[in-house]
Amino acid sequence: MKLEIRVCEVGFLPTNCWLVKDSETSRSFAVDPGWYDETLEHALHAFGIDRLDYILLTHGHHDHTLGLAQLNARFGGKTVLHESEAAFLSDDSLSLRHPAFKGLPRTDKADILVKDGDTLPFADGEIRVLHTPGHTRGSVCYLLGDMLFAGDTLFQESVGRTDLPTGNTAQLLSSVRRLAALEGDFRVLPGHGPETTLSHERKHNPYL
C-alpha cells in the first residue's frame, strides 16, 4: 500500500474533506464531504480519482454530510457511518441541517453501519473504526496506516463541542483519552483546522 492524501476545504465553516488514494491499486476514499461543488470535483480529478470505494463519515452533522448525495452520485463509494448515528442522515434536528438546504439532494441511509473495532478492507490493508462518542453519540475516528481521521472529536490543541444534540462532555473526555492512549504516533486529520500529530496533542492539548 502506498497511501497519498489530499485535503479539500469545503463549505462555509469550512470543513476538511480528506481524500485518500492507494497509488498501487488506485483504491480510494473520501472523508466527510461537507459540501459538494466544482472545487471538490476538480480536486478529486486532479488527484486521479474517478471512483471512490468508500465515503467515510466521522459523524452525521450537516457540515460533514451536505455534499454526500452529490459526491456519491458522481463518484460512487459505500457510505460508512456508526450505527448509533444512522438517524442523523434523515433527522435534521440531529444533523442541524438548515431548512435553506431543503432542495439539496440527500442520502437518508448509510450503506455500511459500523461499530467500535470494525474494520473495512481497503487495498491490501484495512481501515479500523474507533467509536469515540462525545461530540455526538455516534462519532467515530478512522485509522489507516499512520493516519487518524478525527472528525470533530479531536482538533489541534482542542476538542469538539459537546453542547449539541447527543453531545456528552464526560464521554468526549474519555474518548480523547482513549486516542491519547493509542500506541505510537499518528497524523491527526481533523474535521476542521490544521493537521496535527498525536504526540503533539499528548504534550500540548489540555484535554488529553
Q: Which is nearer to Zn ion, 94 or 114 (CB)?
A: 94
Q: By beta-carbon distance, which residue lies closest to Zn ion?
A: 61
**Separation of alpha carbons 65 and 105, rounded Å:** 11
Tell whether residue 118 is a contact of Zn ion (CB under 5 A): no
Tell whether residue 201 is a contact of Zn ion (CB under 5 A): no
Q: Which is nearer to Zn ion, 2 or 161 (CB)?
A: 161
Q: Of 46-54, 62-70, 74-82, 171-179, which segment contacts Zn ion by CB under 5 A?
A: 62-70
- State in angstroms the smallest separation of the CB of 90 from Zn ion: 17
Tell whether residue 32 is a contact of Zn ion (CB under 5 A): no
DSSP-assigned letters across all residues of 100-153: GGTTS----S-SEEE-TT-EEEETTEEEEEEE--SSSTT-EEEEETTEEEEETT
Q: Of 4-12, 71-79, 150-158, 168-176, which segment contacts Zn ion by CB under 5 A?
A: 150-158
Q: Are 17 and 40 in contact (CB under 8 A)?
A: yes
DSSP-assigned letters across all residues of 158-203: EE----STT--HHHHHHHHHHHHTSSS--EEEESSS--EEHHHHHH
- State in angstroms the smallest separation of the CB of 86 from Zn ion: 16
Give the x-and-dash track for 179-198 against Zn ion (CB under 5 A): ------------x-------
Q: Are 43 and 76 in contact (CB under 8 A)?
A: no
C-alpha separations of 181 from 174, 177, 187, 194 in Å: 10, 6, 14, 22
Q: Which of 35, 57, 60, 61 binds Zn ion (CB under 5 A)?
A: 61
Q: Which is nearer to Zn ion, 153 or 205 (CB)?
A: 153
- State in angstroms the smallest separation of the CB of 70 from Zn ion: 18
Q: Which is nearer to Zn ion, 63 or 85 (CB)?
A: 63
Report cis status (omega within 30 of 0) of the bond before 194: no
Q: Applying CB under 5 A, which residues contact Zn ion?
A: 61, 63, 152, 191
